[in-house]
Amino acid sequence: MDMKKPRPLTAILRGITPDDAVSVCAVLVQAGFTSIEVPLNSPQPFDSIRLMADAFGKQAEIGAGTVLDVEQVDRVCEAGGRLIVSPNCEPSVIARTKALGLRSLPGVLTPSECFTALKAGADGLKFFPAGLLGVDGLKAIRAVLPPETLTYMVGGVGPENFGAWIVAGADGFGIGSALYKPGDGSALVADRAQTIITAWDALVTRE
């Protein structure tokens, strides 16, 4: 197993505040997360992104979730973010993200949304809410997607069902409340992060 290859796991820190951003980010990076997003409906999200990017931007891909418009993409970029994640498929957001050289993961659930996102230049697809789609739904959609398409599952996913999703064709996962809830201390997040990383490493052999 090549431990230098980034795991396709994104930590979603919905509700994180600037005061906690660096300490929580530190334990996530130490555990092995290399992709971390701050949803923009968190308190002062651009401040948190800037602090995290300044401290750990060379060790992890820091970015934003719940990105809904082009202006927000610009602000994330200005704060040092490199990842743009949305709950929806908005071609203008995808296009702006790629124009700025950032990574684009729009939210999709249907085949039409998948192909719209790919046509607009998305780097991968975030299936949300994954629990609503289900593993059978992913299998069906995977059958018509280009084989190189990267698929990330968010919503109702965790160590207990990583295996079933991987068999269905998932490439990676976004982990939110199972990893972090507002007010959680860094020690608690560290324990959860290690559990998730250990579960992933037990399931997947990365070449």
Tokens of 164: 């079933």
Q: Selecting from 3.40.50.300, 3.65.10.10, 3.20.20.70, 3.40.309.10, what CATH number does the domain 9-203 have?
A: 3.20.20.70
pLDDT digits (tens, 9 = 90+) for 163-186: 999 999 999 999 999 999 999 999
**Parallel/antiparallel/unpaired status of strands 9-12 and 125-127:** unpaired
pLDDT digits (tens, 9 = 90+) for 62-103: 999 999 999 999 999 999 999 999 999 999 999 999 999 999
C-alpha 76/C-alpha 32 separation (Å) is 23
Residue numbers annotated as active site: 37, 126
pLDDT at 203: 87
pLDDT digits (tens, 9 = 90+) for 87-144: 999 999 999 999 999 999 999 999 999 999 999 999 999 999 999 999 999 999 999 9
The full set of domain ranges for the chain reads 9-203
Measure the CA dihedral 67/11/56/97, to 10°: -30
Q: DSSP state, 145?
A: S
- pLDDT of 162 strictly over 80: yes
Measure the CA dihedral 108/111/116/119, to 10°: 110
pLDDT digits (tens, 9 = 90+) for 9-18: 999 999 999 9
- pLDDT of 2 strictly over 80: no
